[in-house]
Chain A
Amino acid sequence: MSALLKASNLTAYYGDAQALFGIDFDLREGETTAIIGANGAGKSTFMKAVTGLVKTKPGQIVFKGEPIGGLPPGEIVKRGIALVPEGRRLFASLSVEENLLMGAFAKRPGPWSLQRLYTLFPILNEKRRQPGTSLSGGQQQMVAIGRALMSNPTLLLCDELSLGLAPIVIKEIYDALPAICAEGMTVVIVEQDVVLAQRVSRRICCFQEGRVSLQGASGELTREQISQAYFGL
Chain B
Amino acid sequence: MIETLVQGVLLGGLYCLFALGQSLMFGVMRLTNTAQGDFVILGSFAAIAGMSGLAAMGPANAATPFIVMLALLPLAFGFGYALQRYVLNGTLGKDPLPSLVVTFGLSIVIQNLLLEVFSADPRSIETAGLNTESLALPGGGISIGVLPLLVFVVAVVATASLQWLFNSTRLGRAFRAVSDDKEIAELMGLNSNKVYALATAIAFVLIAVAGVLQAMRTTVSPSDGPLLLLFAFEAVIIGGMGSFWGTLVGALLLGITQQIGFRLDPGWGIWFGHIVFLAVLVVRPQGLYPKTR
Q: Which of B173, B190, B293 contacts A92 (CB 8 A)?
A: B293
Task: Find residues 73-102 in chain A having any chain B CB closer than 8 Å to their own CB.
Answer: 73-74, 77-78, 83, 85, 89, 91-94, 98, 101-102
Chain B residue numbers with a CB within 8 Å of A103 are 188
> Could you mark each residue 142-160 of chain A with 1 if its beta carbon is under 8 Å from any beta carbon of chain B, else 0?
0000010001000000000
> Could you mark each residue 113-128 of chain B with 1 if its beta carbon is under 8 Å from any beta carbon of chain A, else 0?
0000000000000000
Task: Indicate if the CB atoms of A91 and B187 lie closer than 8 Å.
Answer: no
The chain A residue with its CB closest to the CB of B166 is A93
Chain B residue numbers with a CB within 8 Å of A73 are 183, 186-187
Q: Is A53 an interface residue, CB under 8 A from the partner? A: yes
Task: Indicate if the CB atoms of B187 and A53 lie closer than 8 Å.
Answer: yes
The chain A residue with its CB closest to the CB of B176 is A93
Q: Is A105 an interface residue, CB under 8 A from the partner? A: yes
Task: Indicate if the CB atoms of A94 and B189 lie closer than 8 Å.
Answer: no
Q: How far, in Å, is B55 (CB) from chain A's closest CB?
A: 47
Q: Which of A53, A72, A93, A151 contacts B188 (CB 8 A)?
A: A151
Q: Is B133 an interface residue, CB under 8 A from the partner? A: no
The chain A residue with its CB closest to the CB of B191 is A74
The chain A residue with its CB closest to the CB of B167 is A98
Task: Find residues 97-123 in chain A having any chain B CB closer than 8 Å to their own CB.
Answer: 98, 101-103, 105-107
Q: Is B180 an interface residue, CB under 8 A from the partner? A: yes
Task: Indicate if the CB atoms of B189 and A89 lie closer than 8 Å.
Answer: no
Q: Is B181 an interface residue, CB under 8 A from the partner? A: yes
A51 to B189, CA, bound (A): 11
Chain B residue numbers with a CB within 8 Å of A74 are 186-191
Highest count of chain B CB atoms <10 Å: which of A78, A85, A92, A103: A92
Chain A residue numbers with a CB within 8 Å of B293 are 92-93
Task: Indicate if the CB atoms of A85 and B184 lie closer than 8 Å.
Answer: yes
Highest count of chain A CB atoms <10 Å: which of B173, B174, B189, B191: B189
A92 to B173, CA, bound (A): 11
Task: Indicate if the CB atoms of B186 and A91 lie closer than 8 Å.
Answer: no
Chain A residue numbers with a CB within 8 Å of B181 are 89, 91-92
> Could you mark each residue 205-247 of chain B with 1 if its beta carbon is under 8 Å from any beta carbon of chain A, else 0?
0000000000000000000000000000000000000000000
A131 to B173, CA, bound (A): 13
Task: Indicate if the CB atoms of A93 and B190 lie closer than 8 Å.
Answer: no
Task: Indicate if the CB atoms of A91 and B184 lie closer than 8 Å.
Answer: yes
Known contacts A98-B173, A102-B177: A91-B189 contact under CB 8 Å: no
Task: Indicate if the CB atoms of A83 and B187 lie closer than 8 Å.
Answer: yes
> Could you mark each residue 34-61 of chain A with 1 if its beta carbon is under 8 Å from any beta carbon of chain B, else 0?
0000000000000000010100000000
Task: Indicate if the CB atoms of A91 and B185 lie closer than 8 Å.
Answer: yes
A93 to B177, CA, bound (A): 7
Highest count of chain B CB atoms <10 Å: which of A51, A91, A131: A91
Q: Is B32 an interface residue, CB under 8 A from the partner? A: no
Task: Indicate if the CB atoms of B188 and A105 lie closer than 8 Å.
Answer: yes
Q: Which of B179, B188, B191, B292 contacts A102 (CB 8 A)?
A: B188
Task: Indicate if the CB atoms of A77 and B177 lie closer than 8 Å.
Answer: no
A105 to B186, CA, bound (A): 10
Chain B residue numbers with a CB within 8 Å of A77 are 187-189
Task: Indicate if the CB atoms of B189 and A151 lie closer than 8 Å.
Answer: yes
Chain A residue numbers with a CB within 8 Å of B174 are 102, 105
Chain B residue numbers with a CB within 8 Å of A107 are 189
The chain B residue with its CB closest to the CB of A83 is B187
Chain A residue numbers with a CB within 8 Å of B180 are 91-94
Task: Indicate if the CB atoms of B183 and A53 lie closer than 8 Å.
Answer: yes
> Could you mark each residue 277-293 of chain B with 1 if its beta carbon is under 8 Å from any beta carbon of chain A, else 0?
00000000000000011
Q: How far, in Å, is A148 (CB) from chain B's closest CB?
A: 9
Task: Find residues 162-207 in chain B having any chain A CB closer than 8 Å to their own CB.
Answer: 170, 173-174, 176-177, 179-181, 183-191
Chain B residue numbers with a CB within 8 Å of A72 are 186, 191
Task: Indicate if the CB atoms of A94 and B173 lie closer than 8 Å.
Answer: yes
A81 to B186, CA, bound (A): 13
A25 to B66, CA, bound (A): 63
Task: Indicate if the CB atoms of B177 and A94 lie closer than 8 Å.
Answer: yes
The chain A residue with its CB closest to the CB of B187 is A73
Chain A residue numbers with a CB within 8 Å of B177 are 91, 93-94, 102
Closest 5 CB pairs of A and B: A106-B189, A93-B176, A91-B180, A105-B188, A73-B186
27 A-B interface contacts by CB (under 8 A): A53-B187, A72-B191, A73-B183, A73-B186, A74-B188, A74-B189, A77-B187, A77-B188, A77-B189, A85-B187, A89-B181, A89-B184, A91-B177, A93-B293, A94-B177, A94-B180, A98-B173, A101-B170, A102-B174, A102-B185, A103-B188, A105-B170, A105-B174, A105-B188, A105-B190, A107-B189, A151-B188
Chain A interface (Cβ < 8 Å from any Cβ of B): 51, 53, 72-74, 77-78, 83, 85, 89, 91-94, 98, 101-103, 105-107, 131, 147, 151
